[in-house]
Each structure stands twice: as C-alpha cells, then as structure tokens.
C-alpha cells in the first residue's frame, strides 16, 4: 500500500524535495534577510494572485488546450469591477453594498470572458491556442479603450482588505487561495466533472462516444478558468489599489511554466493540484530569494528555466522507467 502511494505521488515528492532544497539554499544565501517572519509574510501575500491564475491556466491545460487570455481576462475584470467600485464609492453608497456589487461585477466580467473563450472553443471548434490568443488581444484592447491607458483608482478603504488584510494573522489572500485550492481539488479529483475533464484531455473522441457532452464540459471549464482570473483580479486590484490593462501581464507565461512544473501534461489528460501548489511555491521562493540576494533578475529567469528543464527531464525519465 505504501509503495503504491510513493509511486503515485512520485512527481509531488520530487517537487517537494526541490522546494525544500531551494528554500534551504535561499536561506543560506541571505540568512539574515530571507529567513525572517516579515519575508515569509511578504511572500504569503505575493503568492495567491499568481497561484490562482496558475489554476486558471491548469484547468484548461488538462483538457489539452491552453488559455493565453488569463492575464487579459484578469485585467479586464479588474477594470470593470474597479469601475463599478470607484463609481459607486464616489456616489457615497454604503461600503458593504459597494463592495458586494463590485465583487459581482468582477466575477460577471471574468465569467463572461471565460464563456466567450469556451463558446468559441467548444461550439465553433477553433483551436484553444488561437481563440485565446485572439481574446487576449480583444480583452486587452477593451481594457485600454475603457481606461484610455490610465489606471482606475479611487477605491474605498474597506476594499483594501482583500489583498492586504489578515484574519487571526493569516493573510486574507492566503485564505482565498486555500479555498480555491480546495474547490479545484474537489472539482478535479472528487467529482464526475473532473473525471470527465481528464478523460477529455486524454481522448476527446472516446469521451464524446461514452456519452459526455464535451462541448458543455469545455464551456464550463473555460468559465471556471475565467472566474479564477476574476478572483485573482480582486486580489490584485486590492493590493495595487488600482486596475490597469498591464497589471500581472508577466504572469502569463509564468503560469504555463508553473502548471507544467507542477506536473500538468501540456498535451492534456493529467494534472495535479498538489503539484501546482508546490510549483507555485517554488517559483515564489526563487523570485523573492534571489531578489533579496540582489541577483540580476535575468539570472532569476535562468534559474527557473533550469529547474523547469530539470523537473521535466526527471518526470520524463521516470515515465520511461515505469513503462519498462
């Protein structure tokens, strides 16, 4: 029984070893500055927005697709939600309603973006890569059109809480992130919906012939992906106290990298929620650790690239060995 478990979680175990090693390494490079409570907190506030966006990417990758519009979706929903927020706030409406209504604004905008992606991918049948490349440009264009290139700001103080507050010392973004991890895990690993999503990634034809409405399934997955972008947008808008078309644009390829590092098969059909969580943590520790050490940021990318190649190579070798 135990043997089976280590085999099943081999990928996660390797990732965890890498995580621990990287963590120790960073602590060794800058012992007095990396290994501090303040830095741990600071990293905890930074991780959720990126982690949630990585899940938005991952749920689409497991179907064999890709969502290149994650950052654009997030930015657009932040701009629409932010617009609602600042407009209501400046009209002096009570802060509870302002926030409640604007949160709905964030999520509706994000879900609509996801639905557009899902509709074109599933019902029109265009390749996800092309669809989301197009919507990335489309959403980005709408964002710039609305903001005229500036940033939307003027949010109420209470909105600050989503990205900067804490509950009993636990950063609020971390609480949101934990909930997302749990929901995504249940959805993918404990529900028929998740099983069908993995099946679809392995073999779309067989999935269709076994009676699954694959079009509806895809549509739902893209909407879920969009919603996650919207939640990430809430955290970002709160943390940066404004919304703009370019916020988080560097997360796009990083989220693909984190998904793949976490063991998600880029061809679809496999993905591990736990793996992605560890992968996101690895990337966070490397970024913050090397930054604190004063390393040239290009070398940070070099290190992340090396780790990516390394983990992928190990996974590949392992899969070869398993096949023998």
Partner 1 sequence: MKKTLCITLVFLLIVSAVSFANGGGEGKAAADDELTIVVMPKLVGIPYFNAAEKGAVAAGKDLGVNVIYTGPTTADAAQQVRMVEDFIARGVDCIAVAPNDPAAMTPVLRKAQQAGVLIMDWDTPADPSVVDISVHQIDDVEYGQMFWDKLVEFAGKDTMDYAIITGGLSAANLNCWIDAGLKYAAAKYPGLNLLTERVPSDEKQQVAYQKALELIKAYPSMEGLICFSSPAPIGAGQAIQEKGLQNDITVIGCALPNDARPYIKDGSVDAALLWDPATLSYLTVYLAKKALTGEAITDGMEVPNVGKIGVSADGKTIIMGAPSEFNKDTVDNYDF
In the bound complex, what is the minimum distance in angstroms from residue 13's beta carbon to partner 1? Answer: 8
Task: Point out which residues bind partner 1 (CB under 8 A).
Answer: 6, 14, 17-18, 21-22, 25, 28-30, 33-34, 36, 38-39, 42, 45-46, 49, 144, 147-151, 153, 160, 164, 236, 239-242, 244-251, 287-288, 290-299, 301-303, 306-307, 310, 314, 318
Distance CA 234, CA 159 (A): 9
Rg, Å, the chain Cα set: 20
Angle at 177 between CA 176 and CA 181, to 5 degrees: 120
Min dist CB 200 to partner 1, Å, is 31
**Among 100, 119, 244, which Cα is nearest to 159's?**
100
Q: Among residues 94 and 297, whose Cβ is nearest to partner 1?
A: 297
Cβ-based burial of 275 (10 A; exposed 0-12, middle 13-18, buried ≥19): buried
Residue with Cβ nearer partner 1 (259 or 288): 288
**Ordered DSSP codes for 36-99:** SHHHHHHHHHHHHHHHHHHHHHHHHHTTT---TTHHHHHHHHHHHHHHHHHHHHHTT--HHHHH
What's the rounded Cα separation, in Å, for the pair 222 and 218? 6
Task: Give the nearer residue to partner 1 in terms of CB position, either 87 or 164.
Answer: 164
CA 195 to centroid of chain Cα atoms:
21
Looking at the Cβ atoms of 49 and 265, the one nearer to partner 1 is 49
How many angstroms separate the CA atoms of 285 and 170, rounded?
19
Q: Which is nearer to partner 1, 86 or 259 (CB)?
A: 86
CB closer to partner 1 out of 202 and 308: 308
Two tokens, residue 270: 């496999």
For the CB of residue 180, give the shortest distance to partner 1 in the complex, in Å: 18
User: Could you tell me the smallest distance in angstroms from the CB atom of residue 68 to partner 1?
Assistant: 16
The dihedrals phi and psi of 156, each to the nearest 5 degrees, come to: -65, 155
Least separation in angstroms between residue 183's CB and partner 1 is 24
* Shortest distance, position 62 Cβ to partner 1, whole Å: 25
Looking at 74-200, which runs of residues are DSSP E strands? 166-167, 170-171
> What's the min distance (Å) between Cβ of 27 and partner 1?
12
Question: What is the rounded CA–CA span in Å between residue 72 and residue 246?
Answer: 8
Contacts (Cβ under 8 Å, ≥6 apart) of 216: 122
Smallest gap from residue 220 Cβ to partner 1 (A): 28
118 and 127 Cβ atoms separated by less than 8 Å:
no
In 3D space, the residue among 280, 279, 292 whose CA is nearest the CA of residue 26 turns out to be 292
Which CB sits closer to partner 1, 82 or 226?
82
- For partner 1, which is the closer residue by CB, 220 or 244? 244
Distance, CA of 76 to CA of 110 (rounded, Å):
8
DSSP 159: G
Distance separating alpha carbons of residues 102 and 176, to the nearest angstrom: 17
Q: Which is nearer to partner 1, 97 or 310 (CB)?
A: 310
């Amino acid at each position: 029984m135990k043997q089976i478990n280590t085999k099943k979680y081999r990928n996660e175990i390797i990732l965890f070893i890498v995580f621990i090693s990287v963590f120790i390494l960073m602590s060794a490079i800058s012992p007095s500055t990396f290994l501090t409570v303040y830095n741990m907190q600071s990293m905890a506030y930074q991780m959720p927005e990126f982690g949630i966006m990585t899940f938005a990417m991952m749920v689409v990758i497991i179907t064999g697709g890709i969502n290149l519009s994650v950052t654009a979706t997030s930015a657009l929903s932040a701009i629409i939600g932010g617009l609602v927020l600042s407009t209501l706030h400046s009209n002096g409406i009570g802060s509870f309603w302002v926030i409640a209504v604007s949160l709905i604004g964030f999520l509706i905008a994000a879900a609509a973006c996801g639905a557009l992606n899902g509709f074109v991918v599933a019902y029109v049948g265009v390749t996800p890569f092309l669809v989301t490349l197009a919507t990335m440009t489309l959403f980005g264009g709408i964002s710039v059109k609305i903001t005229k290139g500036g940033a939307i700001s003027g949010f109420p103080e209470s909105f600050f809480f989503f990205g900067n507050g804490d509950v009993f010392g636990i950063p609020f973004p971390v609480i949101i992130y934990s909930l997302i991890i749990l929901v995504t895990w249940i959805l993918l690993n404990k529900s028929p919906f998740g099983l069908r999503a993995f099946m679809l990634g392995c073999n779309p034809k067989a999935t269709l012939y076994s009676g699954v409405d694959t079009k509806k399934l895809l549509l739902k997955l893209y909407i879920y992906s969009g919603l996650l972008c919207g939640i990430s947008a809430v955290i970002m808008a709160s943390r940066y106290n404004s919304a703009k078309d370019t916020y988080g644009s560097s997360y796009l390829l990083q989220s693909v990298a984190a998904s793949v590092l976490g063991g998600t098969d880029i061809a679809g059909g496999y993905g591990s929620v736990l793996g992605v969580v560890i992968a996101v943590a690895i990337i966070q520790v490397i970024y913050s650790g090397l930054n604190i050490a004063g390393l040239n940021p290009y070398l940070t990318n070099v290190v992340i690239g090396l780790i990516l190649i390394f983990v992928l190579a190990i996974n590949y070798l392992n899969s070869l060995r398993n096949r023998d």
